[in-house]
């Protein structure tokens, strides 16, 4: 079990929830299920490990290169790297 990444909610209104996630080396989100469709905007470039019920993968992310996932996604995100990783998550309500 890793230490937890830091989640800071920046906006939470009727339309959106915007959360900044900061991952010092070796931290994780913890297992969770997304109840809403969402977009992730990486603020740094590097690798994050994605743990799902189907196994583990390492994803290369690039600052400013957004991606989206549908509601229902269930996983744990881990920073296996030597430096801090930051992304912004935008959930559509």
Kindly report, residue by residue over 32-77, the tens digit of the pLDDT. 999 999 999 999 999 999 999 999 999 999 999 999 999 999 999 9
The pLDDT of residue 1 is above 90: no
Q: How many CA atoms lie within 13 A of 62 on its CB side?
A: 1
What pLDDT sits at residue 2? 78
- 23-33, pLDDT tens digit by residue? 999 999 999 99
- Level-2 CATH architecture, domain 3-92: Sandwich (2.60)
Contact 8, 85 (CB under 8 A): no
pTM for the predicted model, two decimal places: 0.94
Neighbour count for residue 32 (Cβ, 10 Å): 11
């Amino acid at each position: 079990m890793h230490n937890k990444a830091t989640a800071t909610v920046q906006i939470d209104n009727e339309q959106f929830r915007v959360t900044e996630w900061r991952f010092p080396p070796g931290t994780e989100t913890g297992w969770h299920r997304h109840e809403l469709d969402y977009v992730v905007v990486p603020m740094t470039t590097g690798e994050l490990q994605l743990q799902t019920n189907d196994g583990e993968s390492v994803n290369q992310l690039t600052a400013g290169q957004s991606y989206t996932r549908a509601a229902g996604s269930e996983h744990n995100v881990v920073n296996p790297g030597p430096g801090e990783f930051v992304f912004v998550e935008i959930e559509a309500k």
